[in-house]
């Protein structure tokens, strides 16, 4: 039982127990962003897999606040790493394919130069003399390491939490040196709440009498202060739900241990135990240096500010957040995504449903989602490397498709379950016909990306993007190399600028939307033209069924669905839609009407004879 609750993602060993780590010393002055410099900086790092001949298969992993270079084991005898579940041969970040690099951050106590390192000027540990370092400084050091390792360009830079902050900096500062950026559970700038927790933690350390203004290396370290800070941090890494699961069963169970801290409650014992382990492997001055670097990260506090910072970025993006992360919450990842959208960058986004809190990105619970997305994103980058023998893009997507699970069932209002009615998908053919070859297209409720895939096959240049609610459908889109955003279109398309796309498509989705007026208004703001397709309730056999039998027909939806369980909530006729457009002042530019049951176009009396209309609109 004790083992059980004490188990955590924090599977680190004692300091410097890293037999496969390598170090490089960069002689001379290393200038720092906030002024001053460090002399003869040491970078400690580990690598996995092999750099290929083209030197283009390297993946840089940036670790979180108190992490280190040991991301995975090097062999079965080695200790497991902090991202063991994700990194290794055949895993999502496949070390058989990629050359994986992970460097310990500047200011840490895990091998790279930090406050406990010897200051060459004094031959004493830096202690309080260690200068203020930033995330940018760590990125600069990684860049030097990259050159040292002979890497031409990173296939991707990957980072969760603080590591995600570094990924942001990489893309802005060295845009040509990475082709992909993956962030998990990150933030452009800590919320005031998260910042406040860091500050209280530092106060606990610096006011511990043992702290001695940071000059404690020849004395007792400030264990109490560091413990308080770590306990506090630990609470913020978990969620309320995960703490309930862990501790509610035996809330009042004291666990005997040697500690100056309260252990009357099981959660108290846990925090006492975790903080004691943390003291074994971490240095208080490093904790101060690293949390301060994190707090100083200021990549903007509004979409506009972040967009300005990200303007130089040229890579493709995969951004992931976790629904129960209250430390670096999903809305902050969404701000990053919205900033990327406004800068017309290529980005996919998924808010992964999880109740594991901030630590979710280190845990196996949602691995199939975040690991799956990561794997598909990297695979796609790998298979589209410039300079390698060009495969036909269609082929390349087919290869990736093989890895995918079938997509059905769990998809929420925007997903595609009209399979039966629309078999053969003649509506896609019609929509394709209505869109010029190289036009930019936003597909609202894009499902698995079937329409976007066809558009991509027609033109590799056009800017294409999908919006979708289903995690599984998003995985499918990412596997196909498409950009897709996890958003609910009912809450508007605020992220998109006016006229950002030539076409915005709402294909077979209008009838599932509650706020029809808002969604259509928004699509015609964001797109120069909108294409809306919907089932026509006036189709004669359907309306006759109601008229004759007094029973609701199954209008336009899957045959298994009834009036009480259809996902459709809006029922309209083609004539209704036209008068809606007239009332709103929208121009109907073109219309294609179909009998999808017969699989043919309808040219006469569409309001009577068509099961579906596809209408091109503009304001």
- Contacts (CB under 8 A) with a copy of itself, residues 327-356: 329
Closer residue to a copy of itself, CB minimum distance, 6 or 580: 580
Q: What Rg, from alpha-carbon coordinates, does the chain have? A: 28
Q: Which of 572, 592, 615, 617 binds a copy of itself (CB under 8 A)?
A: 572
Binding-site size, a copy of itself (CB under 8 A): 71
Residue 170 CB, shortest distance to a copy of itself, in Å, is 24
d(CA 267, CA 262): 10
Q: Which of 295, 308, 502, 595 binds a copy of itself (CB under 8 A)?
A: 295
Residue 498 annotated to the active site: no
Q: What does residue 304 show for φ and ψ, rounded to 5 degrees? A: -65, -45
**Structure letter (DSSP) for residue 178:** B
* CA-closest candidate to residue 182, choices 62, 307, 82: 62
Using rule CB under 8 A, residue 130 touches a copy of itself: no
Using rule CB under 8 A, residue 34 touches a copy of itself: no
d(CA 60, CA 170): 10
Per the listing, tokens 């082709």 go with 179
Residue 321 annotated to the active site: no
Using rule CB under 8 A, residue 271 touches a copy of itself: yes
Residue 325 annotated to the active site: yes
Cα 104 to Cα 65, 137, 238, 250, 559: the distances in Å are 10, 12, 24, 38, 57
Using rule CB under 8 A, residue 49 touches a copy of itself: no
Tokens of residue 457, six digits: 């096959």
Closer residue to a copy of itself, CB minimum distance, 275 or 348: 275
| Window 152-211: residues binding a copy of itself (CB under 8 A) | 189, 191-193, 195-197, 199-200, 202-204, 206-207, 209
Give me the catalytic one of 70, 234, 358, 486: 358
| Window 398-457: residues binding a copy of itself (CB under 8 A) | none
Q: Which of 144, 235, 367, 393 binds a copy of itself (CB under 8 A)?
A: 235
Q: Which of 143, 570, 601, 619 binds a copy of itself (CB under 8 A)?
A: 570
Cα 54 to Cα 153, 261, 384, 387, 388: the distances in Å are 10, 55, 14, 9, 9
Using rule CB under 8 A, residue 32 touches a copy of itself: no
Helix axis angle, 516-526 to 574-584, nearest 10°: 60
Determine the longest span between alpha carbons in the chain, in angstroms.
Answer: 96
Using rule CB under 8 A, residue 517 touches a copy of itself: yes
Closer residue to a copy of itself, CB minimum distance, 51 or 235: 235
Using rule CB under 8 A, residue 6 touches a copy of itself: no
Using rule CB under 8 A, residue 609 touches a copy of itself: no
Closer residue to a copy of itself, CB minimum distance, 498 or 565: 565
Using rule CB under 8 A, residue 299 touches a copy of itself: no
CB 575, CB 554: distance < 8 Å: no
Q: Which of 226, 228, 315, 485 binds a copy of itself (CB under 8 A)?
A: 228
Stretch binding a copy of itself (CB under 8 A), from 415-423, 442-450, 462-470, 535-543: 535-543
d(CA 120, CA 122): 6
Residue 497 burial (CB < 10 Å; 0-12/13-18/19+)? middle
Give me the catalytic one of 325, 359, 427, 568: 325
Using rule CB under 8 A, residue 547 touches a copy of itself: yes
Find the distance separating the first CA and the last CA of the chain, reported in whole Å.
Answer: 65
Closer residue to a copy of itself, CB minimum distance, 2 or 552: 552
Give me the catalytic one of 161, 266, 411, 507: 161
CB 529, CB 504: distance < 8 Å: yes
Q: Which of 262, 401, 423, 488 binds a copy of itself (CB under 8 A)?
A: 262
Closer residue to a copy of itself, CB minimum distance, 199 or 432: 199
Using rule CB under 8 A, residue 607 touches a copy of itself: yes
Closer residue to a copy of itself, CB minimum distance, 164 or 201: 201
d(CA 137, CA 35): 11
Using DSSP's 3-state secondary structure scheme, residue 294 falls into helix
* CA-closest candidate to residue 117, choices 172, 27, 54, 39: 39
Active site positions, annotated: 161, 325, 358
């Amino acid at each position: 039982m004790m083992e059980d609750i004490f188990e955590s993602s924090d599977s680190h060993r004692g300091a410097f127990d890293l037999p496969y780590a390598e170090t490089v010393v960069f002689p001379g002055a290393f200038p720092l962003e906030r002024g001053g410099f460090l002399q003869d900086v040491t970078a400690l790092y580990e690598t996995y897999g092999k750099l290929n001949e083209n030197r283009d298969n390297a993946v840089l992993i940036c670790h979180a606040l108190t992490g280190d270079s040991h991301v995975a084991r090097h062999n079965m005898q080695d200790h497991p790493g902090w991202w063991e579940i994700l990194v290794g041969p055949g895993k999502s970040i496949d070390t058989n394919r990629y050359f994986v690099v992970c460097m310990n951050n500047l200011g840490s106590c895990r091998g790279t130069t930090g406050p406990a390192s010897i200051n060459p000027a004094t031959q004493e540990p830096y202690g309080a003399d260690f200068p203020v370092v930033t995330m940018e400084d760590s990125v600069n050091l990684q860049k030097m390491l990259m050159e040292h390792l002979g890497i031409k360009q990173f296939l991707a830079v990957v980072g969760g939490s603080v590591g995600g902050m570094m990924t942001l900096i990489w893309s802005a500062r060295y845009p040509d040196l990475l082709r992909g950026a993956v962030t998990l559970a990150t933030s452009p700038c800590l919320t005031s709440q998260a910042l406040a927790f860091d500050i209280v933690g530092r106060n606990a350390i610096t006011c511990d009498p043992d702290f001695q203004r940071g000059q404690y290396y020849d004395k007792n370290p400030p264990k109490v202060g560091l413990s308080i800070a770590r306990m506090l941090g630990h609470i913020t890494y978990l969620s309320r739900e995960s703490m309930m699961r862990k501790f509610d069963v035996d809330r009042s169970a004291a666990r005997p241990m040697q500690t100056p801290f309260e252990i009357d409650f099981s959660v108290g014992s846990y925090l006492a135990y975790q903080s004691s382990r943390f003291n074994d492997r971490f240095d208080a001055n490093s904790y101060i240096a690293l949390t301060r670097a994190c707090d100083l990260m200021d990549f903007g506090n509004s979409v506009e500010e972040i967009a300005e910072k990200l303007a130089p970025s040229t890579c493709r993006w995969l951004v992931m957040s976790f629904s129960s992360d209250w430390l670096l919450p999903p809305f902050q990842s969404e701000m990053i995504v919205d900033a990327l959208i406004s800068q017309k960058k290529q980005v996919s986004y998924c808010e992964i449903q999880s109740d594991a809190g901030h630590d979710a990105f280190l845990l196996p619970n949602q691995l199939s989602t975040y690991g799956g997305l990561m794997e598909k994103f990297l695979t796609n980058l790998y298979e589209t490397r410039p300079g390698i023998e060009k495969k036909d893009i269609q082929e390349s997507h087919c290869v990736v498709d093989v890895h995918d699970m079938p997509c059905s069932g769990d998809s929420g209002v925007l997903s595609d379950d009209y399979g039966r009615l629309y078999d053969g998908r003649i509506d896609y053919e019609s929509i394709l016909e209505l869109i010029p070859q190289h036009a930019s297209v936003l597909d609202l409720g894009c499902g698995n990306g079937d329409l976007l895939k066809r558009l991509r096959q027609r033109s590799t240049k056009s800017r294409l993007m999908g919006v979708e609610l289903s995690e599984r459908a998003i995985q499918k889109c990412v596997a196909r190399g498409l950009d897709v955003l996890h958003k609910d279109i009912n809450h508007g398309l605020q992220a998109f600028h006016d006229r950002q796309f030539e076409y915005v498509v709402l294909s077979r989705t209008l009838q599932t939307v509650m706020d029809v007026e808002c969604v259509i208004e928004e699509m015609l703001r964001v797109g120069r033209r909108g294409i809306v397709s919907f089932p026509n309730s006036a189709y004669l056999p359907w309306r006759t069924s109601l008229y004759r039998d007094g029973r609701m027909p199954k209008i336009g939806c899957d045959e298994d669905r009834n009036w009480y369980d259809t996902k459709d909530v809006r029922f309209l006729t083609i004539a209704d839609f036209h008068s809606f457009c007239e009332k709103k002042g929208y121009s109907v530019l073109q219309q294609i009407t179909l009998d999808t049951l017969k699989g043919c176009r309808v040219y006469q009396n569409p309001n009577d004879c068509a099961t579906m209309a596809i209408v091109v609109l503009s304001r």
